[in-house]
Structure 1
């Protein structure tokens, strides 16, 4: 007796021809430290002449960059990620300087890093958060009697 149940269906006769899943390739990388926002100069016209002046990061962009310290995946970002996010910071700065044409690109770039709950759902990311009740209690509730321990019933 070879096995249980009927023999497998011939793959050529199947209604759905799902492709085999491509195996996941795991590559080891070294996480990198978050860099500071760079200092650089931009060209502006003064009396029709090009002049180089220091770029000033908008306060909103400095706050946005500081917020990345709290990103749950920060410890996994490589130098390539930080380079991409520095470019995104420049787009963020242009957006906050009034260039509304940058909004779509900014949204797309932030989505790649799961900035909104919808983006995280699309990336299949879920951030685990310990509740204070679990941490403070230190014990697992196993029955309704345990939950109601210490509650006195009042007679009407």
Structure 2
């Protein structure tokens, strides 16, 4: 027996088809090793001088190399992050105008919990640590109440206990 109401629209008349408007491009994945912060020269007062990375930028770079996200970085990711390191160095040298651009760039790599949530990143180790009981670690509802059964008349009875 059919349901109530009008017949559904045919697929070619539906406004929403849940298909991607632009097809996805699948790329071959190649993990890349992190480069070291390079030595180079910059022009200062008409002279070429050796660029000195702030110590804080060295620490920041090592943090990215050790991050879980780094396992998923390709060569273009590391190049973008290397350019971002220059912005980080500017900020730590006192150029506060670099802060906004730095924030935008590191957000693309999942720097903060909010960034990782937006990028749908999760830490795999956390999935198995709770034994499948959910985030609180408390027993599941099935573990707590799985033995309860309904009695005729709608009253609950615990196994092994009379009324």
Of structures 1 and 2, the one scoring higher in RCO (CA 8 A, sep 6+) is 1
The answer to whether the Cα contact below 8 Å between 2:108 and 2:115 also exists between their aligned partners in 1 is yes
Would you say how many aligned residue pairs link Structure 1 and Structure 2?
Answer: 130
- State the match for 1:26 in structure 2: 26
Q: TM-score, normalised by structure 2?
A: 0.69
Q: TM-score, normalised by structure 1?
A: 0.71
**Alpha carbons of 1:56 and 1:113: their partners in 2 closer, same or farther (altered >3 Å)?**
same
CA distance in 1 between partners of 2:85 and 2:96 (Å): 15
Unaligned ranges ≥5, structure 1 = 135-140, 145-156
Residue 76 of structure 1: CA displacement? 1.7
1:63 aligns with 2:59: yes
State the superposition RMSD in angstroms.
2.7
User: Cα deviations across residues 14-63 of structure 1 (Å, max 9, x unaligned)?
Assistant: 6xx22542254321121110000000001111xxxx11110000011000
Unaligned ranges ≥5, structure 2 = 132-138, 145-163
Residue 11 of structure 1: CA displacement? 5.3
Q: Within 5 Å, which residues of 2 pair with 1:2-81?
A: 7-10=7-10, 17-22=15-20, 23-45=23-45, 50-81=46-77
- State the match for 2:100 in structure 1: 104
CA distance in 2 between partners of 1:69 and 1:18 (Å): 42
**SS of the residue 2:43 aligns to:** strand
Q: Within 5 Å, which residues of 2 pair with 1:84-95?
A: 84-95=80-91
CA distance in 1 between partners of 2:28 and 2:13 (Å): 41
- State the match for 2:158 in structure 1: none
Residue 107 of structure 1: CA displacement? 0.2
Residue 127 of structure 1: CA displacement? 1.6
CA distance in 2 between partners of 1:61 and 1:133 (Å): 36
Residue 12 of structure 1: CA displacement? 7.4
CA distance in 1 between partners of 2:129 and 2:119 (Å): 27
- State the match for 2:147 in structure 1: none
Q: Moved runs in structure 1, 4+ residues, more than 4 A?
A: 3-7, 11-14, 130-134, 141-144
